[in-house]
Amino acid sequence: MDVGISNFQQAVVEASAKLPVLVDFWAPWCAPCRALTPVLEKLEREYTGRFKLVEVNVDENQELAEALQVRSIPAVFAFRDGKPLAHFLGALPESQVRAFIERALPSPFIEVMDRAERLIKEGRVDEAEKLLAEVPPNIDWDARLEALRAAVGFTRSGANEDELKAKLAAHPEDHEARLKLAQLYAGARRYREAMDQLLEIARRDKNWRDGEARRQLVTLFTLAAGEADLVSEYRRKLATALY
């Protein structure tokens, strides 16, 4: 697929949120480019949809080449989650290109967590829990794994919103009821309301249950990572409440 300045945002930046995109900077006069491109195309077919390959003719798209500081070609950039992850220069042997692609691909366990998150949103928490049980601990994804497991618990909370609100109206210091209300909101992905309740616990008694409100808020920050402004706002509020 040929890409230029007019469709780079959609074809590369936005597309890389769903799967890695390899951007091959080349030119018709470049002999090493003519050697490398067939290797990339072969591997794209072999990996059957696990990454997307696009090509940028630098003669026609000098602005793009300058933006990524391409000084020589061929140059191949791997984009993931909207950002360049890594790159290499020159017509590398197929084995090295394959190794580069493997490093650019997300771990299979990331894909398992993606599927589990979709199941949680659909209310299929038993299936999600089984998937999450397959994911081993790893520093690269432990925070997300913990957050998704918490989301399963939130969704299963089964609490009644009106009853919990009535309890809190009568006894605002009932942190247990407030925690259950926060979990109910979190299970429904009403993250702002959930964070408000947890923040109120932290303000009233930051040491309750050895900082349970803070721990739950940190978990919610991971679950709500796609809402960057919301997370930033409540990180600031939590810092103020604690310190």
Question: Annotated catalytic, 33?
Answer: yes
pLDDT of residue 168: 96
Q: Provide the 3-class DSSP secondary structure of residue 74.
A: coil
3-state percent helix, strand, coil for the chain, nearest multiple of 5? 60, 10, 30
pLDDT of residue 92: 94
Report the candidate in 211, 156, 159, 220 with the shortest Cα–Cα distance to residue 193: 220
Question: Annotated catalytic, 42?
Answer: no
The Cα 136–Cα 119 span in angstroms is 19
pLDDT of residue 89: 94
Residues whose CB is less than 8 angstroms from the CB of residue 1 and which lie 6 or more positions away in sequence, other chains included? 11, 52, 53, 54, 55
pLDDT of residue 197: 97
CATH topology for 8-104 is Glutaredoxin (3.40.30)
Is residue 223 within 8 A of residue 150, CB to CB? The reply is: yes
pLDDT of residue 103: 87
The Cα 84–Cα 207 span in angstroms is 42
The Cα 128–Cα 186 span in angstroms is 16
The Cα 96–Cα 91 span in angstroms is 10
pLDDT of residue 182: 92
Of 3, 22, 30, 182, the active-site residue reads: 30
Of 33, 54, 70, 182, the active-site residue reads: 33
Which residues of the chain fall below pLDDT 50?
none
